[in-house]
């Protein structure tokens, strides 16, 4: 019984077949890539047309603006990819600036300036950890009549515009609350746990942490003292055991009293 496909000839045929499969695969990949790029180009064109038609709604309606931004992100268009409305490397400039004359682009960068101002003015009160809700309320309280409404989503996008500048501004979640951190220092896990505990009653104590988190006294004191040194907790020495209060909680209570 003869055996076919043995020797150098069979090896050559196998190599040719593999090369053909590879070539065919590359052709398919190129074809699909070109097709996808064409589809995205058409979609971006339609998106640009849509944005021009609804420019006023995007500027003035915060919900519409947020949905439009999400739609951009879904196709890989970052509306805030550039730090200015001037030209980029390819001269195309910022996406918002191109399609809306820079108005929405300016809105976010002007909002970022206001975020920096608010965080800077309250840093001594909260140690550089300011609630997003508090920042928005302070900005809204000083806005001019007829100015666009500002949402938490707008605040977060404004903070993101500061990242290319290498700034210390970032967002983080502690417990159930979203904060803007305006200092370069990172919170460690113990400090985060203390702040989460402080959200429940507004304050913590060394014995509270020892009882609820099962920490030794030295660990509880170290975490608290680190936060006190950064003004993220305030000390109340009038009690039998010192209590360490969250500035944000105290401000919220004060605002509720004033509103009431």
Q: What share of the chain is helix, strand, coil (3-state, %, to 5)?
A: 65, 10, 30
Q: What is the pLDDT of residue 85?
A: 41
Q: What is residue 86's predicted lDDT score, i.e. its pLDDT? A: 40
Low-confidence ranges of the chain (pLDDT < 70): 1-33, 35-37, 39-40, 43-44, 47-48, 51, 73, 75-105, 146, 165-167, 253-256, 258-260
Q: What is the pLDDT of residue 84?
A: 41
How far is the C-alpha of 67 from the C-alpha of 51, rounded, in Å?
12
Q: Give 41: exposed, middle or buried? Use CB within 10 Å, 0-12, 13-18, 19+.
A: exposed
> CA 176, CA 98: separation in Å to the nearest integer?
38
Cα separations (Å) of 80 from 96, 134, 135?
Answer: 7, 24, 21
Task: Check: CB of residue 48 under 8 Å from CB of residue 99.
Answer: yes
233-236 long-range Cβ contacts below 8 angstroms, 24+ apart: 233/127, 233/194, 233/198, 233/204, 236/203
Structure confidence at residue 90 (pLDDT): 44
pLDDT recorded at residue 92 = 45
């Amino acid at each position: 019984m003869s055996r076919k496909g043995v020797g150098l000839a069979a090896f050559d045929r196998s190599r040719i077949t593999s090369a053909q499969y590879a070539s065919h695969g590359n052709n398919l990949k190129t074809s699909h890539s070109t097709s996808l790029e064409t589809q995205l180009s058409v979609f971006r064109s339609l998106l640009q047309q849509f944005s021009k038609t609804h420019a006023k709604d995007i500027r003035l309606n915060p919900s519409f603006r947020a949905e439009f931004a999400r739609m951009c992100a879904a196709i890989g268009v970052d509306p805030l990819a550039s730090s200015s409305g001037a030209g980029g490397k390819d001269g195309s400039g910022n996406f918002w600036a191109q399609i809306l004359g820079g108005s929405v682009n300016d809105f976010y960068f002007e909002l970022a300036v206001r975020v920096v101002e608010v965080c800077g003015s309250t840093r001594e009160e909260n140690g550089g950890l300011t609630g997003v809700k508090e920042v928005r309320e302070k900005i809204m309280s000083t806005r001019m009549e007829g100015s666009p409404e500002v949402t938490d989503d707008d605040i977060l996008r404004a903070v993101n515009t500061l990242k290319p500048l290498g700034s210390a501004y970032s967002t983080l979640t502690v417990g159930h609350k979203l904060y803007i951190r305006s200092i370069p220092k990172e919170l460690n896990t113990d400090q985060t746990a203390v702040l989460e505990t402080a959200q429940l009653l507004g304050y913590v104590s060394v014995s509270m942490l020892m009882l609820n988190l099962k920490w030794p006294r030295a660990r509880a004191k170290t975490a608290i003292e680190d936060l006190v040194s950064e003004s993220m907790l305030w000390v109340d020495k009038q009690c039998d055991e010192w209590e360490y209060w969250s500035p944000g909680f105290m401000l919220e209570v004060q605002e509720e009293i004033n509103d009431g």
